[in-house]
Amino acid sequence: MTTAKIILDGNLVAASIKESLLGRINRLSEKGIVPCLATILVGDDPSSATYVRMKGNACKRLGIESIRVVLPKNTSTDELIEAINKLNADPNVHGILLQHPVPEHIDERAAFEAIRIEKDVDGVTTLGFAQNAFGLADFPSCTPAAIVAILDYYKISIEGKHAVVIGRSPILGKPVSLMLLNRNATVTMCHSKTTNLEEMVRLGDIVVAAVGKPKFVHGDWIKPGAIVLDAGYNVGNIGDVDYESCITNASAITPVPAGVGPVTIATLLKHTVEASEKLTLN
């Protein structure tokens, strides 16, 4: 029997975000402008191809143009950067997303840095990260922004809470920690080298799981009444949280799927629309 008070339904949050974009897209259309997101896929990883296709379909449903750039697995870093620069220079492209991960021989950080900041709708550049740290980012990383959007949609207070983030990636764990800190949470960032991880997680009023390991967080790690946000997505539609055990102690929890994932995509669409407004209306 589950005792969580709230299942944090990402589909509801995503629908709300998309609904808020319709008028803005129509206003752009009246001026002959169609928001455009370019996605770049290097190689033939099936999971990455699925993610890119999902993003393209989401764009189409909302009236956002989607350009898909597919490069072979043996593409060099220089060739990838050349493709990014072509999109940077295209005035009809408003957002650029490089699907992660890229093949190992590519300098992923150099490729991310090539994305023009005005088109960095996925928040992957170091400049975007720095702006996020100061609370000034137009386009913070999409999954961290989605996590905060879920908390806001359900009117879950962040201020004064102890947030424990499991994971320290530059596009998830670190930026969400900064976003929560900027909203006056006290934040503990944990990772694979953290000693007594379970004890640290038990301190959290808000727990964000972003470690990339299926069912990694167990129910007895969760303080009674804590809010649990599962940012993991592993093979078989399995999150980083053992949902069935964690739901017992949590007062609110995101499922996988239909939790953080749909809101991440909706946030990407929102950033693309905002980028198109900034690039064409200002």
**Looking at the annotation, which residues are catalytic?**
55, 99, 122
Residue among 211, 225, 223, 149 at smallest CA distance from 180 = 149
Q: What are phi and psi of 199, to 5 degrees?
A: -65, -35
Contact 242, 222 (CB under 8 A): no
Supply the angle between the helices 142-153 and 10-30 in degrees, to the nearest 10.
110
Q: Is residue 119 within 8 Å of residue 144, measured between CB atoms?
A: no
Distance CA 58, CA 65 (A): 10
Give dist(CA 17, CA 142) in Å, integer.
13
Contact (CB, 8 A) for 254 and 10: yes
The answer to whether the Cα torsion of 268, 160, 127, 33 is positive or negative is positive
